[in-house]
Structure 1
Amino acid sequence: MNRPVPHDDRAVEVARRLCRVLAATHRLRSDVHGGYGLALVAVQSGLLVWCNGEWFWWRVGWDERRRYPMHTYCRADDLRQTAYRVAFLCARLREGQSRREQTAGDAS
């Protein structure tokens, strides 16, 4: 008899799949934390990917006018596209961090 997967378990299961795709295709390490019907994928400092088993979403910026975070979404069944978009954002974040470190070095 097939039992439906509880929502908590599905979110964690899907998030773990994303971790495997991130590792295999983009060499990114990540951790999964689950609870309350959601899973969090900790990819790097400053980047958490949320999952409810159906969707992934993560913060991509800040709307200064509305003073509100901006998020982007991907369907949980499109792991390759999600992994690509997360890896692209990781590269952007690392590039920004590198630029900030260079600027701080120039100031001293």
Structure 2
Amino acid sequence: MTTISPAPARSGAMAADLLQAQLKAAHGIDADVNQGDGDALVSVWRDLVVWCDPTGSTWWWRTGRRSTQGPRKGRRIYRFASTSDVTTAAQRIACRYADLQRPQSDRPGAASPGDPAAVTCGSPPPQP
């Protein structure tokens, strides 16, 4: 597996470029980087956009699931990763990309809570 050197990012744009390179080198995934006004996004696939904070320290993206309990029931669930670990972040994003490649009925979000099919790429199962 190819790994891009995890040099510390100094901006969201630098972090986005680093992630884009890692996704291509290690997973063969083409992605586009979009920048403006200090924000940077990595567009990987439909419903998979990775945001980079302006300081270049964190990436986050939607998991495709929603919360199932509590006062915030129904809100989108996000996954976060530090830009200091581009390898792990790219692996997690590649797993989400693979989920999106499957038919919608086969995706983890379509499975009932506790169903083993709801667990992919090392993600914990959704809470009932």
The alignment's TM-score, normalised by the length of structure 1, stands at 0.77
Give identity over the alignment, percent. 33
Q: 1:12 to 1:59 in 2, by over 3 A?
A: same
Aligned to 2:92: 85
Superposition pairs of residues 10-89 of structure 1, within 5 angstroms: 10-52=11-53, 53-60=56-63, 61-65=65-69, 66-89=73-96
Greater helix fraction, Structure 1 or Structure 2: 1
- Give SS of 1:28's match: coil
Amino acid paired to 1:41: V
Alpha-carbon separation, structure 1, partners of 2:66 and 2:105: 20
- Give SS of 1:29's match: coil
Greater strand fraction, Structure 1 or Structure 2: 1
- Give SS of 1:77's match: coil
Name the larger-Rg structure: 1
Q: Which runs of 5+ in 2 are unaligned?
A: 1-9, 108-128
- Return the offset for 1:98: 8.0
